Structure 1
Amino acid sequence: MPDRMSPEAALALMPAVREAVRAAAAIALPFFKPGAETSARVWSKAGGSPVTEADVEVDAFLKVRLSELLPEAAWLSEETRDDPVRLEHDLVWIVDPIDGTRAFLSGHRDWSIAVALLSVGQPVLGIVDAPACRHSYEAVAGHGAFRDGAPIRVSSRTTLPGARVTGPKPLFNRLARGVAPGGDAGFERIERIPSLALRVARVADGAIDVGLVSKDARDWDLAGADLILREAGGAVCDLAGRPTLYNRPDPVHGELIAAPAGLIGGIVAALG
């Protein structure tokens, strides 16, 4: 039987989810060594990407805690084998226990714990917690976006020349050429942020004007941060300006844009 969640119900659920994420951060932090290699055990997954015991412990903890909060919701995370039963559910938890694992294991502070709750394919609750940076971002659909409890909004910039841009070099260069063919777009290039969820969250709080995303991002990298950005006045979309869709059979995305709503048309035109 279909289950849906209203924004009001998600708002009521948020304190318990926030507490679960804080407890998850407390599990991860002892393994993190700023500027040095992690103390956690590390191994390689299929495909060669690293995973640490911190990823696994946080994932297991959140699966239990979040499933207790909402037993009717299905589950999709980076560190749990995908169960296609999620496609039959209108409520789905989407979790990245540590987004930016390479940053985590090398001592870079820009990693995060990302959690989203989907209702009928769209996020209604999202948290991106960056424990090593001591910042936490959150949003509930229709109720605004917040960093550390204070409201946030995207940059008020309306033109692309001079914008603060982060993301992969090929997309950055393509955008610059589209904005100023043969010339200088005057972009301020922001150092790449290893956690994709945190990259999108920093667009939401106005620290970055444009975040560019390579292909192959997954639902768990994006869903929570996407809602935070939407509630802050922006969006995550593809290079044609179409909104991001979640909980599909293959939860993989192509190249994406994260930006204030007022810049998306110009970015799409420049990249096209």
Structure 2
Amino acid sequence: MTDTTSPSGSSGAPSVAALAPLLREAVREAATLALPFFEPGGQTRARVWSKSGGSPVTEADVAVDTFLKVRLSEVEPAAAWLSEETIDDPVRLGADRVWIVDPIDGTRAFLSGHPDWSIAVALLEAGEPVLGVVFAPATGRFYEAIAGEGATLDGAPIRVSDRAALEGARITGPKPMQDRLLGGAARLGDAPTVTRVERVPSLALRLARVAEGMIDLGLVSKDSRDWDLAAADLILREAGGVVCDLDGRPTVYNRPEPRHGELVAVPRALCELTLAALARGNG
């Protein structure tokens, strides 16, 4: 793996630490392309159409994606590319470094004037996220992390909550998964009183809010993609949390099919209990 502290790794590639401020600048500039199309509390000014499968895309998604592909390719030319709005190029499977980009995570929120949409960018190195940014332009909240150096929100360090029990937990995610969790907890002899937090439209922001301790437990339905997860996954890891599947396995990125099953995003102290409750909820 490339040295993240020296100006460049042994291969001459720029270090992760050197790339961090350049990524920060690029994402903030990309946000200026999206914000003019965003109408708080109202419908977007952007042109909207449907992709195959029916999910919406806007001219803002495309503008941000195009800008970041050009800029980040200049920042680290050796890195391959995987983005929600770009045709997949299998060259990424053999690349040591890969940019993983969601130009607007939470497009439906963006369309309807809800502030919880984000721009999410991660850099993978040898398949692992080593640099990640999640920026919510409508609220100005900027989350970032470098592997091994912790996570920050607007430059200040963040940590997951210290909750180690479901009682009193703030949970969010798909209602069927919440119901399974609580039903399973009851079968295990617990009947916790929890606060159900309104579902966060941007999955990257949902995980980032677990990282900052605003949410204790985030649930993720199946069919999320690498670009929804990679940046926020690193931020959560660096803040003391974990993203894993229902068998406790960590997320794996840059596979031929960048799609995931059901996941949980939790402080490490809550992980075993959460997985046990979900498993019992299936029974």
Range with bigger deviation, 49-58 or 8-17: 8-17
Q: Distance in 1 between matches of 2:2 and 2:26?
A: 19
How far is 1:7 from its partner?
Answer: 2.6
From 14, 37, 50, the equivalent of 1:31 is 37
Which region of structure 1 is more displaced relative to structure 2, 215-224 or 174-183?
Answer: 174-183
Gaps of at least 5 residues in structure 1 are none
The one-letter amino acid paired with 1:199 is R
1:38, 1:107 within 8 Å by CA — same for their partners in 2? yes
Matched, 1:257 2:272: no
Residue matched to 2:57: 51
TM-score, normalised to structure 1, is 0.97
What is the match of residue 8 of structure 2?
Answer: none
Q: Is the 8 A contact 1:161 1:179 kept in 2?
A: no
* Counterpart code for 1:7: T
Aligned-partner Cα distance in 1 for 2:23–2:200: 25
Equivalent of 1:221 in 228, 233, 236: 228
Q: What is the identity percentage for the equivalent residue pairs of Structure 1 and Structure 2?
A: 69
- 1:15-45, CA deviations, whole angstroms, 9 ceiling, x for partnerless residues? 0100000000111001000000000000000
The counterpart of 1:91, out of the listed 97, 110, 113, is 97
* Paired position in structure 1 for 2:178: 172
Q: Note the aligned Cα RMSD (angstroms).
A: 1.0
2:46 aligned with 1:40? yes
- C-alpha distance in 1 between matches for 2:155 and 2:223: 32
Between the two proteins, the alignment pairs up a number of residues equal to: 269
Stretches of structure 2 that go unaligned for 5 or more consecutive residues are 6-14
Between the aligned partners of 1:24 and 1:258, the Cα distance in structure 2 is 27
For residue 3 of structure 2, what is the aligned residue in structure 1?
Answer: 6
Aligned mates of 2:190, 2:80 — CA distance in 1: 50
- Pick one of 216, 219, 232 that aligns with 2:239: 232
Q: Does 1:271 align with 2:268?
A: no
Aligned to 1:15: 21
Q: Which stretch of the first structure deviates more once superposed, 10-19 or 111-120?
A: 10-19
- Are 2:116 and 1:119 aligned? no
Aligned-partner Cα distance in 1 for 2:52–2:67: 23
2 CA distance for matches of 1:170 and 1:199?
17
| Alignment partner, residue 139 of structure 1 | 145
Can you list the C-alpha shifts for 1:42-67, whole angstroms capped at 9, x where unaligned? 00000000000000000000000000
The one-letter amino acid paired with 1:55 is D
